[in-house]
Amino acid sequence: MYTTCLTKIRRWPMNPMVTSASCTAHVGGSSLWNSARNSRQDRRRCFDESLRLPRHMEERIAIGRHFWIFAAFIAVVGCTTTGDNPAAVVQQHRCQTNNVAIDTDFPTGNIASCEATAADQVSLKLVPEDAPPINCSAWYAFRIDPRDAGTLTIKLDYEVCGHRYWPKISTDGHNWSPVEQDAVVLSEVDEVKQAQFTLKHGTKPLFVAGQEIVGPSDYQAWIDDVSQLPDAVPWVLGQSLEKRPIPAMTIKAPDTHPREQIVLIGRQHPPEITGALALFPFVETLLSDEPVAIRFRKRFETIVIPMLNPDGVTHGHWRHSSGLKDLNRDWGPFTQPETQLMAGLLEKIEADPARNLRLFIDFHSTQKDVFYTIPDDYPTNPPLFLKKWLARLSSAIPGYEINRDANHHLDQPNSKNYVYAKYRVPTVTFEIGDETDRALIAHIGREAALAMMHELLATEPDSPTK
Ligand SMILES: [Zn+2]
């Protein structure tokens, strides 16, 4: 069982109704969070209109909040209103049996098509947003809206790439569980992996997704929460191609002007949830009251762009932005507004004589935990930081094997290669495995942040004559 955020609940068949806010709060962890808890709980509110989605935006409001402290605690508020014409709502169903309707009417919701193949069975086609070749991150997310309790067999029908993400379920979009091992049957058709599973459901809507759902409203709620701390300041990097805001946050001690800059980014690739599950505790550790974090925030400024691809996340894309580009192959060409904004941000730091970039980390997910770094023989300032950082991380998590690949796609126009080539700073793609234990991810995120801060503080302060 693990937790994330969301979402609205409604019943089917649809009657005009209003569902009031409902929420469950789970708060735990550091004194940082406990001390700020009360004020945050007062600040629960529906998700800002500015982040709502062009599709179905009249219906959904969601807010979430996260606390990832070892065991990943999260507090969530969902507030929802519906008052819709029943006929209009029914049109949003992708298909229905006599007992359940399937829809994707929420951020990250995505299936290509849906067919009721028996009274208690549906077949869902899963197709990428773009023609192959495309990275095979076969995302899916949908909601089952039952009339009565029962069972439903769901066939995931892949034309290309095949099944990758183990299905996960949630009744509230907040608490997630993997579907039981023996309920899932995997097979191959023409060498494409397929999946079928049977779920017991009650009368409540049930979310099913490839990973926990972490959408734009969750990021905004998280930023709203952490930026109540005086050392975190939220801002907006700019707009995506579809005019969604790209949230950002700056972390530093108040009334300081640190010269040395760290840039963290995430979610270039929409389905890569586990990278986000590492970024949250990483950033929260930078903001914690650990002595090393307090010292760090006086000397270093950290800029966090936790979700560079809000369009792709919202549409439930497998890989691309709404411009149908892999953003992490666009660092150099810079054909997309999202990557152009990042290039501009880095350029602005470089052009400022009072600031200097020191480190760049890009959070992703893949089949295993791995740090894709530049090679150690590439000169950087600070020198050999990545080697020292990962050695320290290794000793901080006994028994956890650090998997480093310093030669992964060194010729690709990705963020790691571009930022190194241009600024000669240490760069890394921080990859977490799709199914890595969620408590371990939180642990890795926290320890990686602590190790980073210790190692950066051990470096000579950057000279003003850069
Ligand atoms: Zn990725």
Q: How would residue 34 be classed by pLDDT, with cut points 50, 70 and 90?
A: very low
pLDDT on residue 174: 85
Residue pair 26/175 in contact (Cβ under 8 Å)? The answer is no
Q: Which domains does the chain have, with CATH numbers?
A: 2-209 (2.60.40.3120), 229-457 (3.40.630.10)
Pairing of strands 370-373, 175-178: unpaired
Instruction: Encode pLDDT of 396-449 as tens digits.
Output: 999 999 999 999 999 999 999 999 999 999 999 999 999 999 999 999 999 999
Residues 217, 176 contacting (CB under 8 angstroms)? no
**Per-residue pLDDT band at 55 (split at 50, 70, 90):** very low
Beta carbons within 8 Å of 354's beta carbon, 6+ residues apart: 257, 259
CA of 386 to the centre of ligand 1 (A): 20
pLDDT band, very low/low/confident/very high, at 107 (cuts 50, 70, 90) = very high
Report percent pLDDT > 70 for the chain: 80
What separation in Å is there between the alpha carbon of 293 and the centre of ligand 1?
Answer: 28
- Measured in angstroms, how far is the CA atom of residue 431 from the centroid of ligand 1? 8
Distance 15 CA to ligand 1 centre (A): 41
Model confidence pLDDT, tens digit, residues 241-297: 999 999 999 999 999 999 999 999 999 999 999 999 999 999 999 999 999 999 999
Rounded Cα–Cα distance for residues 458 and 99 (Å) = 62
- For ligand 1, the distance from its centroid to the CA atom of residue 364, given in whole angstroms, is 4
Q: Are 134 and 158 contacting, i.e. CB atoms less than 8 angstroms apart?
A: no
Q: How far is the CA of 80 from the centre of ligand 1 (A)?
A: 32
At 7 the pLDDT is 29
Report the pLDDT value the prediction gives residue 39, as an integer from 0 to 100: 32
Residue 68 Cα to ligand 1 midpoint, Å, equals 21
Residue list, CB under 5 A from ion ligand 1: 269, 272, 364
pLDDT at residue 457, as a whole number: 98
Helix-strand-coil split of the chain, %, nearest 5: 25, 30, 45
Helices and strands (H, E) in the chain, number of each type: 10, 23
Report the SS3 class of residue 454. Answer: helix
**Distance separating alpha carbons of residues 101 and 303, to the nearest angstrom:** 43
CA of 211 to the centre of ligand 1 (A): 14
Please choose, from the candidates 404, 426, 452, the residue with its C-alpha nearest in 3D space to the C-alpha of residue 357. 426
Q: Indicate if the alpha-carbon torsion angle 296, 433, 216, 54 is positive or negative.
A: positive
The string of pLDDT tens digits covering residues 195-209 is: 999 999 999 999 999
Q: How far is the CA of 319 from the centre of ligand 1 (A)?
A: 8
Distance 328 CA to ligand 1 centre (A): 7
- The strand pair at 206-209 and 245-251 is best described as unpaired
- pLDDT at position 92: 73
Residues in the chain: 466
149-183 pLDDT, tens digit per residue, is 999 999 999 999 999 999 999 999 889 999 999 99
Q: In what order do the strands lie in the sheet with 168-170?
A: 2-3, 175-178, 168-170, 206-209, 141-146, 100-103, 93-96
The alpha carbon of 165 and the centre of ligand 1 are apart by a number of angstroms equal to: 14
The pLDDT, as a whole number, for residue 61 is 25
pLDDT at 24 over 80: no
pTM for this entry: 0.84
What pLDDT does residue 85 have? 35
Question: What does the pLDDT look like over 283-338, one tens digit per residue?
Answer: 999 999 999 999 999 999 999 999 999 999 999 999 999 999 999 999 999 999 99
Token code pair at residue 170: 């949630």
**Residue 453, Cβ density class (10 Å: 0-12 exposed, 13-18 middle, ≥19 buried):** buried
Beta-bridge partners for 266? 363
- Please, which pLDDT band fits residue 77 given cuts at 50, 70 and 90? very low
CB atoms closer than 10 angstroms to residue 183? 15
What's the pLDDT band for 462 if we cut at 50, 70, 90?
confident
Strand partners, 459: none
- CA–centroid distance, 345 to ligand 1, in Å, is 21
User: What is the H or E stretch that residue 184 is in?
Assistant: strand 184-189
The average confidence (pLDDT) of the chain is 84
Query: From the CA of 427, how far away is ligand 1's center (Å)?
Result: 15
Cβ density class 35-58: b for 16+ within 10 Å, e for less = ebbeebeeebebbeeebbbebbee
